[in-house]
Chain A
């Protein structure tokens, strides 16, 4: 079965955050032989793909885990562009677009994901058997 997962939660607190639930759900469904049409990171969920977030030693590194899963299964991973820009998650294009002489910006979207619009969420729900929201 073809799934789309929508991730609304930031990864900061593992037990209080459904981002970790979403990750485990994604990993499990892939192991069960199902497929993921798209991961869509929305709102606070964009923090899951911030390359500049440093996870303390000894804690589960959720951004790194997402990136590994996306790479391993060649997943289509989309980060809401409006939510990402507000929270300082920028790709190469946006970093260059918004950087000025007075304001140095980082290109900090983890590799394997792209910034795009809500149209990608509509498209994903239309093409998937199930859309599961982790809020």
Chain B
């Protein structure tokens, strides 16, 4: 199972990511990538969505309850649990 990292507010990168992400893959949103969670309602219906709490806070976003807000410790743990880890940009 793959961990997909979305780090930019780039619609094309997100589209490409969602086109190949399997149902049991996890999606990790960091940096400006977290804006996608505020603008793409369809993402909220997907399980296994994670985002860095501090990057959400820094951008003042209010997000759906289904997003798992995590810190770096859990981000590191996810990158151990999943293989490979794919960044989209």
Contacts and interface: CB of A to CB of B under 8 A. Distances in A.
Tell whether A pairs with B: yes
Interface of A: 1, 3, 8, 15-18, 21, 24-25, 27-29, 32, 34, 129-135
Interface of B: 5, 7-8, 30-32, 52, 55, 58-59, 72-73, 75-76, 79-80, 83-85, 87-89
Given A132-B87, A134-B87, 7 more contacts: A3-B79, A21-B7, A25-B72, A25-B76, A29-B76, A130-B85, A133-B5
Nearest to A1: B80
Contacts of B85: 130-132
Contacts of B58: 15
Given A8-B89, A15-B58, A34 B76 contact: yes
27 contacts: A1-B80, A15-B55, A15-B59, A16-B31, A18-B7, A18-B31, A21-B7, A21-B31, A21-B52, A25-B72, A25-B75, A25-B76, A27-B72, A28-B72, A28-B76, A29-B76, A32-B76, A34-B76, A34-B80, A129-B80, A129-B83, A130-B80, A130-B83, A131-B84, A132-B5, A132-B79, A135-B8
